[in-house]
Structure 1
């Protein structure tokens, strides 16, 4: 299987993680997969976990509040994404922070910047994740962030391969 690989680069000097992944899918479908709750919940978690969105308002100043759910149905971690910038179909940014079930963020969080482009039927997603502290970034990496995100993006590839009808 010749599946595109996830490229992950860690730059400790800028406290930023860079991720690039290409998908053999239409640009609009990949954009929707990142911005629509009903699609996000199908892939935004490394297996065997799933994602369960409590609420999502994809607009500047809006928020996605969701949990990671174990195979037994236990909510094992809540997360907030506060949308800070949206340029339809090309870019959006959000502050990501762990939270409790009542939406109280555990700061500091990280700032995500996602860029989408398409060339010759291949959609490229480039993600920069900036952390205010090197300690937070190193803790994320230590907790298996790179491996989990790689698995998660591969879940999206699987979903997109099964949804080529749009």
Structure 2
């Protein structure tokens, strides 16, 4: 793994928003695929020892991804993502909410905005996550922060493996 890659994780409670900027030593198309294809998402998005399992995904505006984070003891924590905007290879937005196994949403949720750019073979991903509720943000923040940082390290490893194939 490359230690000189940009990584910034900022929480603005007043704005109810988390800002993440992360650089990857991989081309933009590959990083885009890692964020938008279920078979790749399931390989990195769950912080170990959790495992991600996508039940279904339809990556288009109005489409959804329904997936679970599975604990080592078999417990499942489901979430639904609905894609609200897609500009191929450069940006996508989605609404995310926890759900039960029957797809009943646990509101409020959060709005995610992902932007991708490439320079000199490296890709920078900017993510802003607006939470509809400060209470929700504060309730999940510690676990989310740790989990997201671990997931992005998983992604760096996956991208290195895929780039070397």
Q: TM-score range by the shorter chain?
A: over 0.9
Q: Determine if contact 1:50/1:70 at 8 Å carries over to the other structure.
A: yes
Structure 2 counterpart of 1:78: 78
Structure 1 counterpart of 2:87: 87
Structure 2 counterpart of 1:13: 14
Aligned partners of 1:131, 1:164: CA distance in 2, in Å?
Answer: 34
SS in 2 for 1:163: helix
SS in 2 for 1:60: coil
**For structure 1, which runs of at least 5 residues remain unmatched after alignment?**
none
Aligned partners of 1:140, 1:95: CA distance in 2, in Å?
Answer: 16
Return structure 1 stretches of 4+ with deviation > 6 angstroms: none
Structure 1 counterpart of 2:147: 148
Aligned partners of 1:75, 1:118: CA distance in 2, in Å?
Answer: 38
**For structure 2, which runs of at least 5 residues remain unmatched after alignment?**
none
Question: What TM-score, normalized by structure 2, do the two folds share?
Answer: 0.95
Alpha-carbon RMSD across the aligned residues, in angstroms, is 1.3
Cα deviation, residue 13, structure 1: 1.6
Structure 1 counterpart of 2:98: 98
Structure 1, residues 20-66: CA drift from partner, whole Å, max 9, x if none? 11000010000000001111111111011110000000000000000
